[in-house]
Each structure stands twice: as C-alpha cells, then as structure tokens.
Amino acid sequence: MVCLRRNFVEDDKFEVVEDDPIQSLRNFLDYLFEVAIVRKTTDNEFALFKEFMYDSSNEKLKNQFNLLNSDPNAKYTAKQNISIIAFHYIAKLEELYMFKEVE
C-alpha cells in the first residue's frame, strides 16, 4: 500500500517541463532526494533511474513513470511509482544514516 500525502507530490513542488519528460523526471527525482537527504541526484544516480524508467526503443518514459501522461485507471500514479523506487534507493544510502559533524 502506498500512502503519500497528495500535496507532497503535487506539481507545484517541482517543475514539470511539458515538452521534456526526461527533465521532468530529473526535477521530480531531485525534489524527492532534496526532501529525504538534502541533496539532488548525482548524474550517475539519475542515469540509473533513467535506464530503468525510460523506453529507449520508443524514446519516451515507460507508461508507469510518465509524469506527463499518467493512466487514470492505473493502480498507482507515475509520481507514486517513481517515489516508491526513489525512496527504496534512498533508504539504502549510507548518508541517510551518517551525518557529518558540523563545526
């Protein structure tokens, strides 16, 4: 069961670029990372997510991850699907559990 507060993933929290779904994905992932661990995704991390969520044969995001064109009949929205995977990844990062000492 996915329970995300609706206002947590509203479009006003990150920039949706209508003609650039890849940039929209990057913006949403950066937003999730900033909320969880106070930093944006690295280029390597984004490449990992993009490889999983992008259909290179059709040159577009897979339907379940398409922020611009979600299926209203789907069990989860694209934002929920992306959030589940992103937070699963973030939960495994060492920096979530280790904080640097502030002088």
- Which ranges in 1-103 belong to alpha helices (H)? 21-37, 43-53, 78-90
Residue 59 has a pLDDT of 84
How many CB atoms sit inside 10 A of residue 19's CB? 7
pTM higher than 0.75: yes
Give me the tens of pLDDT residue by residue for the chain, a chain 103 residues long.
455 555 555 656 777 788 888 999 999 999 999 998 889 999 999 999 999 999 989 888 888 888 877 677 878 888 889 999 999 999 998 876 766 666 6
Q: How far apart are CA 4 and CA 21, in angstroms?
A: 22
Q: Which residues contact 3 (CB under 8 A, 6 or more apart)?
A: none
To which H or E segment does residue 54 belong?
strand 54-55
C-alpha to C-alpha distance for 43 and 60, rounded to whole angstroms: 19
